Structure 1
Amino acid sequence: MTTRTRGRGQATETERELVEMSWDPITRIIGNLGIYTKIDFNNGEVVECKSTSSLFRGYSVFMKGKDPRDAHFITSRICGICGDNHATCSVYAQNMAYGVKPPPLAEWIVNLGEAAEYMFDHTLFQDNLVFVDYCEQMVKQTNPSVLRRAETTEAPNARIHGHRTIADVMRAFNPFTGAVYQEALQVSRVTREMCCLMEGRHVHPSTLYPGGVGTVATPQVFTDYLARLLRVLDFVKRAVPMNDDLFDFFYEALPGYEEVGRRRVMLGCWGAFQDPAHVDYDYRHMSEWGRRMFVTPGIVLDGELLTTDLVDINLGIRIMLGSSYYDDWQGEETFVTHDPLGNPVDQRHPWNQTTLPHPQKRDLDGNYSWVMSPRWYDKRTGDHLALDTGGGPLARLWTTALAGLVDTGTVRATGHSVEINLPRSKSLPEMSFEWRVPRWSNTIERNRARVYFVAYAAGMAVHFIEQAMAEVRAGRTKVFSDFDVPEEAIGCGFHEAVRGVLSHHMVIRDGKIANYHPYPPTPWNASPRDSFGTPGPYEDAVQGQPIFEENGPDSFKGIDIMRTVRSFDPCLPCGVHMYLGGGKVLQQVHSPTFGAAG
C-alpha cells in the first residue's frame, strides 16, 4: 500500500515542501517491510527514509533448552527461501562446538548443495522479481522516454543472448509472458532439483548433519547433478551479457543514475564454501581455514580490504538496539567473557545477547522496527560501521577479488577482479567472464553482481563436482564422522546466505542450548537507526538519492526507491524471528448434536 501526505519540511538553506510517502508492505519480497519517506519533488530528491518491520519472531528465545543436535533442523525454518543456508551455518557452529571434522566428501557435497542454492535463489529473484522493475511494462509506466530510446538502441551482446535491442531485452522480462521470465522459472526448478540431490530436500535439508551428511555418494547422484548443471550453464552464459547490456543502458540513458541507491562502500562478507583440505572447525585455527574458503570473508571500507580474518570479524560484531522494539540486556547474564584464543568478548556480541522484546506503538521519531541494528566495530577508529552485504553478491565478489586468494581453474581472484571460466555446456561453447570491482556501491551494481555470482557459483559447482568424483573414484566414500555433545561448549558458524552475511552463535551448558543467536543478512541491511542515530543500509541508500521517474507526485510509483530496496534482496523473516510468549491453553468443545462428523 502506498500512502501520501503533504507537509512542510526544513531544508538545509531554504524552506521547501516535502511530501511524505510510504510503501507498506513492499511487494515482491518475503515479509512485512515498510519504507517511509519524505520527498522533495521540486528538487527531485528523497530527503529522508525509515525502514520498518512489523513482523516479530524469536528463535533466540525459544532455542534455549533445546538439544543442540536439533539446531539446524529448527533454524532452517527461519526462512522458506534460504533455509538450507541456515542449516549449513548451524552445522558449522555445531561442528565447532562438538570438535568434529566431517570427511572431505561430505564438505564437497555441502558445497555442491549450496552452489545450487545460490543459482536457484539468485535466478528466481533476479529474473522473476528484480527485473519486473526494469521490464517493458514498468518502464513504459515510469520512464516512457527511456523506453523510446531503448527501442532504437542496439544491444551490444545481441549475438550471444539473442535480443536485438534493449527494448527487446526489457520485453523478455515482462511478467508471465517474457521469454527470459519464463525460462528463469524452469532454471529455478532444475537448480532446486540439484540442491535436493545433495541435501535431500529443499528448502529444509534432510541430509545435513553436524559431522557430515546422509547423502548416498554414488557416481549416479553426481552425474544427475552434472547433467542439470550443463543445462543451467547455457542459461547463465546468455544471462551475464544480457544483464550487462541492460544495466549499462540505464547509465547511458539516465545521466546521474549511478547515484540511485548509492552509499559509502562499506561491505561485509562472512565467506562461503569450505575447503576440506584446511577446515577443521577449531576456533583457534579459524583465521587460517577461513581464508581458505572458496568465497573469501572480509570487510571492505572505502575500497580498502580491512581484514579477511574471521576471528577479527567475529569479535567485531555488535548488536545494537537504537530504534527497535526491545529492552536492553545490559546487566543480564554474560555467557562468554573470552573466546578460545583468550580475546575478550563484548557484552553486545551475539554470544552474550539476551532478547527482551518490548511491543509498542510504532513511532517514526522513536522506536519503529522489530529489526535490531547489527554493526561491526572498527577498533582502529572506534566507529560502529553499518555494513551492508550489497545484496550478497556485491560484497562476496568485492572481498574475494581484492583478497586474491581463490584460484580453482574455473574461478580466479586477481586482486582487482574475479575471472569466471565456464566449460562447454549443452549447446554453448566455453565462455569466460570477468567481474571488475566497480566505482560505486549502488543499486545497479548490486543487481549486476547477482548474475555474475550465479556464474561464479556455477563455475565453483564444476570444480566441486570434479573434486567429489575424485573422492568417489579413489574409494573415499565416507560422509560422516562420529561425535559426542559436550556438557559445556561454544560454537560459531560463518556462511553466506544468498543475500549476504550469515552467522550462528551457540552456547551449550549441561548438554543443552543455553544461548543461540542467528544473524542473517536482513538485520544488517534492514536495520533502523542505531543508538548513535546512524541509519541502516536501506535507509542510507534511499535517502539523498535523486528521482528519475517521470511521473509527478499524484501518480508517483517510487520505482527507483523500490529498485534500491529490492537490490538488497530483502527477506524479512530472516530479519526478526517468531516469539510466542507464554502461550495459551485452548479448550475445544464438541457439539453433541453434530459430533465428529459435523
Structure 2
Amino acid sequence: MALQQETEQESRELVEMSWDPITRIVGNLGIYTKIDFRNREVVECKSTSSIFRGYGVFMRGKDPRDAHFITSRICGICGDNHATCSIYAQNMAYGIKTPPLGEWIINLGEAAEFMFDHVLYQDNLVFVDYCEQIVKETNPSLLRRAETTEAPRGNVHGLRTIADIMRAFNPFTGSMYREALQMSRLTREMFCLMEGRHVHPSTLYPGGVGTVATPQLFTDYLVRLLKVLDFVKKAVPMNDDLFDFFYEALPGYEEVGRRRIMLGCWGAFQNPAVVNYDYRHMDEWGKAMFVSPGIVLDGALRTTNLVDINLGIRILLGSSYYDDWQGEETFVERDPLGNPVDKRHPWNQTTLPKPQKRDLENGNYSWVMSPRWFDDRSQQHLALDTGGGPLARLWSTALAGTVDTGTVRATGDSVEINLPKSAAFPEMQLEWKIPKWANTIERNRARIYFVAYSAAMAVYFVEQALAEVRAGRTKVFTDFEVPEEGIGCGFHEAVRGLLSHHMVIRDGKIANYHPYPPTPWNASPRDSYGTPGPYEDAVQGTQIFEENGPENFKGIDIMRTVRSFDPCLPCGVHMYLGDGQVLKRLHSPTLGTSVPG
C-alpha cells in the first residue's frame, strides 16, 4: 500500500503558475505556485519581494525628532500608523507623556484610518473576488445557486438574494461598491480633522499633537461618523450572509487559506489614564489599550505582556537577500528591566543587503526578512501572522476580556459592539464571535467587524475628548529634550496588522532604527529553520474550488487567500501560466513530503 502511494506521488503532474507583481507595502509581492490540477491542490507556494527599501540603513545618523516624518513614507496608505508608532517609540526614548486630550485626538485619527482603509480595501478590492462578475467566470454553478438563495439578513441590508449581494459589489456599477467610495471620502475627512493630512500626518509630534481642539472640531468629526454608522449597520450583515453562503454552498471551503492559529497583535488605541511610555510599566499600560495586545497560539492567549512580546521578537534570514549580522555591534544588551536582549532582536539588527539572483528552487528568493516570535515554552520560532489585522486584533481582545467602554465589550469568547442610533438605523448590537478557523473567509469577515469596532470606539473617544474640552483641560502637547543616549520601542497596529518601531539614540542621533510592519511578518519567505512564511503556509496545501481547468484558470481561491491578509494595494496583479510545465515529484524524507525533481 505504501509503495502504491509513493508511485502515485511520483506520477503527479504539476503546473507552475505565478502572480507577480502584487503591489505591496514593502516592495513587490510575487506568489509562485505549483498546482496539482488532477487532485485540485496547491502543492507548493513561495512568496517573493523584488524591492529593497533600506530604512534600517539610512535612518542612522538622523535627528530622532524626524523619525516619524521619515518613516511615515514607508507606505502611501498607512503612513500615519508608522508616524504614530514612531512617536510612541520617541516618547519612551525621551521619557515624556502626551496629555490626555492629545491621546484622544491620536486615537480618533487612527480610528478614522482603520475605517477608511478597511472599507476601501474590503468593498472595493477584496469583494471584487466575490462579486457577480468574477463568480460567473470562476464558479458559474455557485452563482446559479446564489440566484435562488434568500439572504437571511435581507430585512436589515435590503437585498433579497445572495446573488443580489454579489451584484452589489460589481466594480463601478454595484451599489455597495459605489457607496464604499463615498465612505472612504468621509473617513479620510475625519482623519484629516485630527491629524491634518492624509496619509502623512502634519500635526503629530513626540509629546502630543498640533491639532487645535475645539467643540466644533469634534462635532465635525461626529457628523461624518454618524453617516459611517449607517453604512456599517448594512455592511456587517451583508458580509455575514455572503461568507456563510460560501461555507454552506461549497463544503470544505473552510480549508481554503487555513493555517495553524498563530496570531499576533501589538495593541492599539492608548488609554490616557494609564499609559506613560515607561518601558518598566509597559505590561501595565499595554494591557490598558483599547485593542488588547496578545499572541494567540492554537486558540489560546500565550501572553498579553508587551515586555514578553518585545523580547521574543527575532529577525531571521534563511531565504532572504542579506548577510548575517552576528559579528556586528550589539546596541542593546539588556532592556530597562535588566532582561537580556537577543542579537536577532530589532534593537540589535544591522541590515546588510546582499543583492543576488533569485533562486526559487534551492536558494534565496526575497528581499523580505523573516520576523518570528520565539516561544520559550516550545523553544520554537513561530511564524505569526496578523490575520489581515482585524482577525488577530479581535481574537486577542476577545480572549483578554479587559476592554469595556460601553460601546465595546470583550467577553472572553467574543466582542460585543454597540452602535448608537444613526440617521437610517436604530441602535444596533453586533457580536464578533471567535471562529473555529484562521482561514481566508474569517480573515475577511473580521475586517468588516473591525470597521464596526473602530466606529464604536470613535464614538467613545469623541465623548472623552469633548469631556476634556468642557472641563478646560485643553493641553495637547508636552515639551521635551532629546537625550544623548536612549532607547525606545513603539507598539501599534498598522491597518493590516502588527507594527513596531525600535530606536537606539547615541550622541543625540539615531544609532539604530528598525520598523517592522505587517508585510515582513505575513510575506516572509522560508526562514533559516525552513519554516514557510504565512502567505506561503496558507496557500500551500489549499484545495482549489474554482471550476476552471489549467487552460483558463483564474486562481481565484489562491488570490482570495493572499488578499485575505490585506497585502497593500493588491489590485496590481498579473498572472503567468507559461507552457504548463509538468514536473516529476520525488519523495523527500527530510521534508516529509514530496518535492520537485
TM-score by length of 2: 0.93
For 1:121 and 1:256, how far apart are their aligned partners in 2? 30
> Where do 4+ consecutive residues of structure 1 move more than 4 Å?
9-14, 27-31
Partner of residue 470 from structure 2, selected from 469, 473, 494: 473
Shift of 1:14: 4.6
Shift of 1:56: 1.2
Name 2:196's counterpart in structure 1.
200
Name 1:501's counterpart in structure 2.
498
Partner of residue 86 from structure 2, selected from 82, 90, 97: 90
Whether 2:412 is the aligned partner of 1:412: answer no
Name 2:16's counterpart in structure 1.
20
Structure 1, unpaired ranges of 5+: 1-8, 574-598
Matched position secondary structure for 2:237: helix
Name 1:489's counterpart in structure 2.
486
For 2:359 and 2:159, how far apart are their aligned partners in 1? 49
Name 1:290's counterpart in structure 2.
286
Matched position secondary structure for 1:25: strand
Shift of 1:474: 0.1
Q: Against the structure 1 CA distance between its residues 497 and 368, is the aligned structure 2 distance closer, same or farther, given a 3 Å change threshold?
A: same
Shift of 1:32: 1.5
Name 2:545's counterpart in structure 1.
548
Name 2:263's counterpart in structure 1.
267
Residue pair 1:196, 1:202 contacting (<8 A) in 2 also: yes
Name 2:397's counterpart in structure 1.
400
Residue pair 2:23, 2:568 contacting (<8 A) in 1 also: no
For 1:29 and 1:326, how far apart are their aligned partners in 2? 19
1:85-115 Cα shifts (integer Å, max 9, x gaps): 0000000000000000010000000000000
Amino acid aligned to 2:481: D
Partner of residue 54 from structure 1, selected from 50, 54, 58: 50
Matched position secondary structure for 2:373: strand
For 2:497 and 2:445, how far apart are their aligned partners in 1? 15
For 2:25 and 2:84, how far apart are their aligned partners in 1? 23
Name 1:299's counterpart in structure 2.
295
Shift of 1:304: 1.0
Whether 2:420 is the aligned partner of 1:423: answer yes
Whether 2:327 is the aligned partner of 1:331: answer yes
Whether 2:38 is the aligned partner of 1:42: answer yes
Higher mean displacement: 15-24 or 115-124: 15-24
Residue pair 1:49, 1:543 contacting (<8 A) in 2 also: yes
For 1:29 and 1:341, how far apart are their aligned partners in 2? 34
For 2:364 and 2:26, how far apart are their aligned partners in 1? 22
1:496-519 Cα shifts (integer Å, max 9, x gaps): 000000000000000000000000
Name 1:191's counterpart in structure 2.
187
Matched position secondary structure for 2:405: coil
Name 1:138's counterpart in structure 2.
134
Whether 2:522 is the aligned partner of 1:525: answer yes
Shift of 1:381: 1.1
Q: Against the structure 1 CA distance between its residues 198 and 146, is the aligned structure 2 distance closer, same or farther, given a 3 Å change threshold?
A: same
Name 2:174's counterpart in structure 1.
178
Shift of 1:12: 7.8
Name 1:160's counterpart in structure 2.
156
Residue pair 1:30, 1:570 contacting (<8 A) in 2 also: no
Residue pair 1:10, 1:16 contacting (<8 A) in 2 also: no
Name 2:364's counterpart in structure 1.
367
For 2:321 and 2:131, how far apart are their aligned partners in 1? 38
Shift of 1:472: 0.2
Q: Against the structure 1 CA distance between its residues 12 and 489, is the aligned structure 2 distance closer, same or farther, given a 3 Å change threshold?
A: farther
Residue pair 2:50, 2:367 contacting (<8 A) in 1 also: yes
For 1:225 and 1:334, how far apart are their aligned partners in 2? 46
Higher mean displacement: 342-351 or 356-365: 356-365
Q: Against the structure 1 CA distance between its residues 11 and 540, is the aligned structure 2 distance closer, same or farther, given a 3 Å change threshold?
A: farther
For 1:546 and 1:571, how far apart are their aligned partners in 2? 25
Matched position secondary structure for 1:26: strand
Matched position secondary structure for 1:17: coil
Q: Against the structure 1 CA distance between its residues 11 and 432, is the aligned structure 2 distance closer, same or farther, given a 3 Å change threshold?
A: farther
Matched position secondary structure for 1:319: strand
Partner of residue 454 from structure 1, selected from 451, 454, 465: 451
Residue pair 2:388, 2:565 contacting (<8 A) in 1 also: yes
For 1:296 and 1:139, how far apart are their aligned partners in 2? 37
For 1:302 and 1:553, how far apart are their aligned partners in 2? 35
Partner of residue 244 from structure 1, selected from 218, 240, 244: 240
Matched position secondary structure for 2:12: strand
Residue pair 2:24, 2:567 contacting (<8 A) in 1 also: no
Higher mean displacement: 54-63 or 81-90: 54-63
Shift of 1:216: 0.0
Name 1:76's counterpart in structure 2.
72
1:313-350 Cα shifts (integer Å, max 9, x gaps): 00000000110101111110000000000000000000
Amino acid aligned to 2:472: G
Structure 2, unpaired ranges of 5+: 571-597
Residue pair 1:112, 1:195 contacting (<8 A) in 2 also: yes
Shift of 1:285: 0.2
For 1:426 and 1:86, how far apart are their aligned partners in 2? 34
Whether 2:562 is the aligned partner of 1:562: answer no
Amino acid aligned to 1:457: S
Shift of 1:239: 0.4
Shift of 1:355: 0.4
Q: Against the structure 1 CA distance between its residues 10 and 371, is the aligned structure 2 distance closer, same or farther, given a 3 Å change threshold?
A: farther
Amino acid aligned to 1:486: P
For 1:570 and 1:31, how far apart are their aligned partners in 2? 11
Q: How many residue pairs are counted as aligned between the two chains?
A: 565
For 1:543 and 1:411, how far apart are their aligned partners in 2? 36
Name 1:588's counterpart in structure 2.
none
Amino acid aligned to 2:414: S
Matched position secondary structure for 2:314: strand
Shift of 1:25: 1.3
Amino acid aligned to 2:356: Q
Q: Against the structure 1 CA distance between its residues 341 and 28, is the aligned structure 2 distance closer, same or farther, given a 3 Å change threshold?
A: closer
Shift of 1:30: 8.2
Name 1:281's counterpart in structure 2.
277
Amino acid aligned to 1:73: F
For 1:282 and 1:426, how far apart are their aligned partners in 2? 43
Q: Against the structure 1 CA distance between its residues 43 and 351, is the aligned structure 2 distance closer, same or farther, given a 3 Å change threshold?
A: same
Q: Against the structure 1 CA distance between its residues 10 and 339, is the aligned structure 2 distance closer, same or farther, given a 3 Å change threshold?
A: farther
Amino acid aligned to 2:456: G
For 1:172 and 1:22, how far apart are their aligned partners in 2? 30
Whether 2:464 is the aligned partner of 1:464: answer no
Amino acid aligned to 1:508: I
| Paired-residue identity, % | 84
Name 1:582's counterpart in structure 2.
none
Shift of 1:484: 0.7
RMSD: 1.3
For 1:403 and 1:217, how far apart are their aligned partners in 2? 33
Amino acid aligned to 2:382: L
For 1:403 and 1:106, how far apart are their aligned partners in 2? 26
Amino acid aligned to 2:185: R
Amino acid aligned to 2:43: V
Name 1:445's counterpart in structure 2.
442
Matched position secondary structure for 1:76: helix
Amino acid aligned to 1:255: P
Partner of residue 536 from structure 2, selected from 527, 536, 539: 539
Name 1:433's counterpart in structure 2.
430
